[in-house]
């Protein structure tokens, strides 16, 4: 790469772009060519070939025309002369400025001491030049300007400093732009943070990708914003989505068109985030891909809300559906109940069979109530609470599922507390809770069979009943989601994913709670607590 021309030079050259020769300590003149490099652009001109008078006249007119501020100060710190650019910056005419103490009149108060010191250093011969210093000045209109100064001592024939020549460039505007730029960069970073928007640049030449700070943050990686090999970047993507994203990247490079893709990233702590990515391909002169730029937005929250909305929509359609189903069920149910009632009254039955008929009648009543509840799927049921014996409810359920347990080779153990206080609860709802839990327990037990233990007990002001099985158990991930509506690990025909959601709702509305203990491969225990008051 070509070496750039240095912006500033500490040689005693008036201006690197002016092509005006000046003395060097070697007694030669140097001309610098602004287009060339430092080494090849210095043309050494023997000093004796230039007419001194014409040289000093040229320098004087250069000073006069210079856009830089040029001020010559005498030993007493007073302005001896200044150029039009200086007059303009100071807002003062030449005659008025000459003879004024430079520091007292034009240097910002807070900088006077240090500015005077630099001046003294030049006069005392301690230094030949000030080196570039930024010293603000205040002009006659009271405006402060940031000036970058260089100063040199002007010496007499014997080498004694006689005056100081200050050359300054107004950098107020430049500094303001720099400040604004920093501010806008900062604003941009903040905006990206708020929008959870990151960016990346992929460099074809070295197969590396550079990620912005916010992207590094979204991806939860310890990789800093330095470029990383593309392979390393791919590893941050969720394994299930990785191939799809890589294929999409390849396809977009092949077609030269950017891509839009949604994928998940897997953070080191196991958290998943969903991001939306859009990219654009930059081509070289021969239309070959050179770079790819992409933006990545964290849409995890939006996704969650969308999912919830979808659930809500599903629920609402279920609500409508269940209302029509409930209507359809009620009519035949009424018929069945009538037949049962008639059988009970008109047909002579054994006592045990009478009990079965009674149970069938009360179960049809329960179905009728359930269908009514299906009708009001969303509105909380305001069914009547009454004193309830949990042991009795569990016994009734056991009778109902008796046959199914036998078919599934499941042994049922009842460990009920002998004395159990009553709870105030809606009987059908508690039956539904127990039935859902037992149903899940049965479904978790493999075909070879197993065991379910029903337990009741009370402690402090709570009554507990638990359903334990020695079935499949659950993974940690499943356990976290079981109370979510529509969460199911069963096939479409077997599970709705609503059982535990409804169960939880009922228990909550009774002021109780559900605890789950489950180990993968070692069975599950659900314990329901209900307040006794």
Residues 205-264, interacting with ligand ADP (CB under 6 A): none
CB nearer ligand ADP, residue 73 or residue 430: 430
Scanning the structure block, which residue is given the tokens 């025909």?
493
Q: If binding is defined by CB under 6 A, does position 440 make contact with ligand ADP? A: yes
Q: How far is the CB of 509 from ligand ADP (least distance, A)?
A: 17
Enumerate the H helices of 17-77 as residue ranges. 38-41, 52-65
Among 389, 391, 489, 527, binds ligand ADP (CB under 6 A): 489
Q: Which stretch binds ligand ADP (CB under 6 A): 232-240, 397-405, 420-428, 491-499?
A: 491-499
Q: Residue 490 binds what, of ligand ADP, Mg ion, none (CB under 5 to 8 Å, by partner type)?
A: ligand ADP
Enumerate the H helices of 408-484 as residue ranges. 427-444, 476-481
Contact 47, 31 (CB under 8 A): no
Q: Residue 29 binds what, of Mg ion, ligand ADP, none (CB under 5 to 8 Å, by partner type)?
A: none
308 phi-psi bin (left φ>0, alpha ψ -120 to 50, beta other):
alpha
Q: If binding is defined by CB under 6 A, does position 472 make contact with ligand ADP? A: yes
CB nearer ligand ADP, residue 377 or residue 501: 501
CB nearer ligand ADP, residue 364 or residue 432: 432
Residue 492, classified by CB atoms within 10 Å of its CB into exposed (0-12), middle (13-18) or buried (19+), is exposed
Q: If binding is defined by CB under 6 A, does position 432 make contact with ligand ADP? A: no
CB nearer ligand ADP, residue 28 or residue 496: 496
Q: Residue 375 binds what, of ligand ADP, Mg ion, none (CB under 5 to 8 Å, by partner type)?
A: none
Residue 345, classified by CB atoms within 10 Å of its CB into exposed (0-12), middle (13-18) or buried (19+), is exposed
> What's phi and psi for 460, nearest 5 deg?
50, -130
* Nearest residue to 527 (alpha-carbon basis) of 441, 443, 460, 450: 441
Q: Which stretch binds ligand ADP (CB under 6 A): 244-252, 257-265, 408-416, 490-498?
A: 490-498
The H or E element containing residue 367 is helix 351-375
Contact 70, 83 (CB under 8 A): yes
Q: If binding is defined by CB under 6 A, does position 199 make contact with ligand ADP? A: no
Question: How far is the CA of 445 from the CAs of 408, 448, 479, in angstroms?
Answer: 8, 8, 17
Among 469, 470, 506, 510, binds ligand ADP (CB under 6 A): 469
Q: How far is the CB of 194 from ligand ADP (least distance, A)?
A: 37
CB nearer Mg ion, residue 144 or residue 515: 515
Give the torsion through C-alpha atoms of 418, 420, 425, 431, to 10 deg: -20
Beta strand pairing call for 462-469 and 133-138: unpaired
Residue nearest to ligand ADP (CB): 499
Q: Residue 488 binds what, of Mg ion, ligand ADP, none (CB under 5 to 8 Å, by partner type)?
A: ligand ADP
CB nearer ligand ADP, residue 42 or residue 431: 431
Distance from C-alpha of 402 to C-alpha of 410, rounded to nearest angstrom: 10
* Nearest residue to 364 (alpha-carbon basis) of 406, 331, 402, 323: 331
Distance from C-alpha of 380 to C-alpha of 427, rounded to nearest angstrom: 15
Residues 365-424, interacting with ligand ADP (CB under 6 A): none
The H or E element containing residue 450 is strand 450-459
CB nearer ligand ADP, residue 198 or residue 499: 499
Here the tokens at position 442 are 């049965």
Q: Which stretch binds ligand ADP (CB under 6 A): 53-61, 195-203, 281-289, 498-506?
A: 498-506
Instruction: List contacts with Mg ion (CB under 5 A).
Output: 440, 499
CB nearer Mg ion, residue 66 or residue 440: 440
Q: If binding is defined by CB under 6 A, does position 450 make contact with ligand ADP? A: no
Helix (H, G, I), strand (E, B) or coil at 69: strand
Give residues in contact with ligand ADP (CB under 6 A). Answer: 436, 440-441, 444, 469, 471-474, 478, 482, 487-490, 495-501, 524
């Amino acid at each position: 790469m070509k070496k750039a021309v240095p912006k500033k030079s500490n040689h005693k050259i008036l201006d690197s772009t002016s092509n005006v020769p000046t003395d060097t300590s070697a007694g030669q003149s140097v001309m610098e060519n602004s287009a060339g490099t430092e080494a090849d652009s210095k043309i050494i001109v023997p000093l004796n070939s230039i007419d001194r008078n014409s040289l000093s006249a040229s320098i004087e007119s250069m000073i006069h025309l210079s856009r830089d501020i040029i001020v010559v100060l005498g030993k007493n710190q007073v302005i001896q002369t200044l150029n039009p650019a200086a007059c303009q910056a100071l807002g003062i005419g030449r005659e008025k400025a000459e003879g004024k103490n430079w520091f007292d009149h034009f240097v910002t108060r807070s900088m006077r001491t240090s500015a005077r010191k630099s001046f003294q250093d030049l006069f005392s011969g301690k230094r030949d030049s000030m080196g570039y210093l930024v010293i603000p000045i205040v002009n006659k209109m009271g405006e402060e300007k940031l000036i970058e100064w260089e100063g040199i001592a002007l010496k007499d024939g014997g080498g004694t400093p006689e005056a100081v020549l200050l050359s300054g460039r107004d950098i107020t505007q430049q500094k303001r732009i720099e400040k604004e730029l920093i501010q806008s960069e900062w604003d941009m970073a903040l905006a990206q943070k708020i929008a959870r928007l990151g960016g990346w640049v992929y460099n074809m030449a070295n197969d590396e990708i550079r990620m912005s700070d916010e992207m590094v943050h979204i991806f939860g990686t310890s990789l800093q914003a330095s470029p990383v090999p593309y392979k390393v970047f791919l590893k941050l993507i969720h394994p299930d989505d990785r191939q799809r994203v890589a294929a999409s990247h390849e396809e977009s490079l092949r077609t030269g068109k950017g891509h839009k893709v949604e994928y998940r990233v897997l953070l080191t702590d196991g958290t998943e985030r969903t991001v939306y990515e859009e990219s654009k391909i930059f081509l070289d002169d021969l239309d070959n891909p050179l770079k790819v730029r992409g933006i990545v937005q964290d849409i995890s929250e939006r996704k969650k809300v969308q999912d919830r909305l979808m659930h809500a929509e599903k629920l609402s359609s279920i609500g409508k559906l269940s209302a029509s189903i409930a209507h359809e069920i009620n009519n035949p149910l009424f018929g069945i109940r009538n037949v049962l009632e008639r059988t009970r009254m008109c047909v002579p039955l054994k006592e045990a069979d009478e009990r079965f008929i009674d149970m069938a009648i009360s179960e049809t009543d329960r179905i009728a109530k359930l269908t009514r509840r299906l009708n009001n799927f969303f509105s909380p049921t305001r069914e009547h609470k009454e004193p309830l014996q949990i042991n009795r409810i569990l016994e009734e359920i056991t009778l109902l599922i008796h046959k199914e347990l036998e078919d599934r080779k499941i042994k049922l153990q009842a460990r009920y507390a002998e004395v159990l206080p009553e709870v105030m609860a809606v009987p059908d709802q508690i039956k539904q809770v127990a039935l859902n839990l037992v149903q899940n327990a049965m479904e978790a037990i493999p075909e070879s069979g197993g065991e379910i233990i029903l337990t009741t007990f009370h402690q402090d002001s709570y009554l507990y009943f638990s359903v334990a099985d020695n079935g499949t158990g659950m993974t940690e991930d499943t356990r976290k989601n079981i109370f979510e509506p529509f969460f199911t690990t069963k096939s479409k025909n077997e599970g709705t994913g609503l059982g535990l959601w409804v169960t939880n709702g009922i228990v909550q509305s009774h002021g109780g709670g559900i605890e789950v203990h489950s180990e993968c491969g070692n069975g599950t225990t659900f314990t329901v607590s209900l307040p006794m008051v």
